[in-house]
Amino acid sequence: MNDGINENYITLKFSDFEFPPEILTKKLNLDPTHTALLGETRGKTILKWNSNMWSYEEFIKTNDFIGDLVKNFISRIITPRLKEIKVLTDAHYGELSIVQYYYSGWNPGYHFSKGILSVINKTGLDIDIDTYCLSET
């Protein structure tokens, strides 16, 4: 049973590269939360990774506005690495993933200022947003 607090996952992901994930760790000066190599099994399933993968994920359990959480992530993680991320996305797949399990209230919403959108645009990252509305109200 959930305690009514939203679960938020914000992730910077890269895939479709041929070199070891440790090279991305060095280029970005950021320790990943997940890495995988082509052909490795995905967790406890029979599915296998179809490319090398590197990701840095933050899990935040809060009812704060998701747009503020994303803005904070972008200012701390994306903006200082803007040039490095752009070089990577020019040659490989890159994504900013935002996932929210929404338990509190009835109206989850996203607002990204033109400044935030400009930063994301400069990176070349795709954006994937998933919201799971699980509130009873």
> Is 1 within the bounds of a domain?
no
Place of tokens 């399990």: 101
Q: pLDDT value at position 50? A: 75
Structurally, the chain folds into a number of domains equal to 1
Query: Considering the chain, what percentage of its residues have pLDDT values greater than 90?
Result: 64
pTM of the model: 0.90
Domain that holds residue 76: 7-133
Mean local confidence (pLDDT), 125-136? 89
Close Cβ partners of 101 (under 8 Å, ≥ 6 residues apart): 2, 6, 7, 8, 132, 134
> Is 2 within the bounds of a domain?
no
Of all helices (H) and strands (E), which one includes residue 123? helix 114-123
Extract the tokens encoding 85. Answer: 């991320």
User: What digits encode the pLDDT tens for the residues 35-69?
Assistant: 988 777 767 766 766 788 999 999 999 988 889 99
> Is 112 within the bounds of a domain?
yes
Which of the four pLDDT bands, split at 50, 70 and 90, describes residue 74?
very high
Q: pLDDT value at position 28? A: 97
Which of the four pLDDT bands, split at 50, 70 and 90, describes residue 88?
very high
Q: pLDDT value at position 4? A: 84
Alpha-carbon distance of 54 to 33, in angstroms, equals: 8
